[in-house]
Amino acid sequence: MVQRIWNFSSGPAVLPESVLEEAGKNLLSLGNSGIGILEHSHRGKAFLAVYHETEALLREVGGIPSNYRVLFLQGGASSQFFQIPMNFLGPNRTADYLITGAWSEKAIEEAAPFGGTHIACSSGDRNFSYIPHECVWSSNPIYAHYTSNNTIFGTQWACLPPVPDAVDLICDASSDIFSRPVDVSRHAMIYAGAQKNLGPAGVTLVIIREDLVECGSTTLPTMLQYRTHVKNESMYNTPPTFAIYLMGLVLKWIKSSGGLAAIGETNRRKAQKLYTFLDQSLLFHPTAVADSRSLMNVTFVTGDAELDAKFCSAASASGFDGLKGHRSVGGMRASLYNAFPEAGVDALLEFLRNFERENARSQ
Ligand SMILES: *Cc1c(COP(=O)(O)O)cnc(C)c1O
């Protein structure tokens, strides 16, 4: 058996070991069906059972109300950036965007061809190191779109944005979906690529309120209309069967870990350990403003690019992978998604302390 190392990757990311073992067992035969999970028809009984169980777990774990539909789509969260405005925006309407990082910027850029866009707030003035407190809304937005966790910049909305009650709120939750309790009913739609908190790459989860589905354009290609996937329970064409299966296993793991409240507590504790260290460190400094810090992606720097690089190579030589920060922030980023074990955070803390001790003199 190969030794597994601490994987701080920002996505695709670490998965629970028990999930990987279970999936491995079912590659040759799903249960005692004699056919592996990758080989079952999406229309067959065996896969349909997997599909319905995954959906039921999503609803249970996420507390998804009955007037919301759950879709398993492809094309990544990035395809939702255009599919949303294609369906709901129009030349005479405006959608409001809360710009808190590179992903929100991409989302608004993709919306622009389909109608009016308005920036309700932006933290671009300080390299997205904070979550804005105030928004200025357009007069009658068709929806408001925000990114709940900013994977690259290490910031996260601690609570919902202050959107007027009547405005449909749409959330890109790709990097913090089901990492803490979520009030689905305050959203018209939540979407996320699965590969950070929920499973492997290849499936995009969409949770959408029923009445919104019917507001969508009827002139788009069939595959781009949400109603197609609602009507056909994500089986208009072949869905990403293995990714749906694995998401089901991850949801079972979340449920057996105590659900979103317990997962949220653990995630808070994991991130807090790192921030507490960083706040008193003489060498390392967090890049995000204190009230805006992400519990999923902890970004930090030494302030010296060469020392950052030295740290990253020393860390990877010691079995800590994926700590190099995104080029737009520099420094380091520790991604601590649901499946990242607390023991890995403790190991990193010890490594940080040792590195600090050995390198503080030269500072
Ligand atoms: C990773 C990420 C995306 C992109 O997801 P894809 O599935 O690769 O398209 C979008 N938004 C956020 C917040 C992300 O973290």
Sign of CA dihedral 137, 143, 148, 154: negative
Residue 363 scores a pLDDT above 80: no
Residue 306 scores a pLDDT above 90: yes
The length of the chain in residues reads 363
Residues 6+ apart with CB under 8 A from 9: 321, 322, 335
Best probe residue, ligand 1, of 9, 153, 172 (max atoms within 8 Å of C-beta):
172
The H-or-E segment that residue 16 falls in is none
Query: Mean pLDDT across the stretch 264-272?
Result: 98
Number of other residues whose CB lies within 10 A of the CB of residue 267: 22
How remote is the CA of residue 277 from the centroid of ligand 1, in Å? 29
d(CA 280, CA 314): 22
How remote is the CA of residue 191 from the centroid of ligand 1, in Å? 10
Residues 183-239: tens digit of each pLDDT:
999 999 999 999 999 999 999 999 999 999 999 999 999 999 999 999 999 999 999
Residues identified as active-site? 103, 172, 196
Query: Is ligand 1 within 6 A of the CB of residue 179?
Result: no
| Residue bearing tokens 């204190």 | 290
Residues 39-65: tens digit of each pLDDT:
999 999 999 999 999 999 999 999 999
Strands 68-73 vs 204-209: parallel, antiparallel or unpaired: antiparallel
Closest C-alpha to ligand 1, atom 2: 174
DSSP letters for 227-250: HHHHHTTT-SS---HHHHHHHHHH
Closest C-alpha to ligand 1, atom 10: 77
Query: Is ligand 1 within 6 A of the CB of residue 78?
Result: yes
Closest C-alpha to ligand 1, atom 12: 174
Give the tokens for residue 279.
Answer: 């706040």
- Whole-model pTM? 0.98
Query: Is ligand 1 within 6 A of the CB of residue 202?
Result: no
Structure confidence at residue 361 (pLDDT): 60
Structure confidence at residue 362 (pLDDT): 54
Residue 20 scores a pLDDT above 80: yes
Domain architecture of the chain: domains with CATH: 18-256 (3.40.640.10), 258-362 (3.90.1150.10)
- Residues 246/202, Cβ–Cβ less than 8 Å: no
d(CA 77, CA 98): 17
Burial class from Cβ neighbours inside 10 Å (0-12, 13-18, 19+) for residue 20 reads middle
3-state SS class at 38: coil
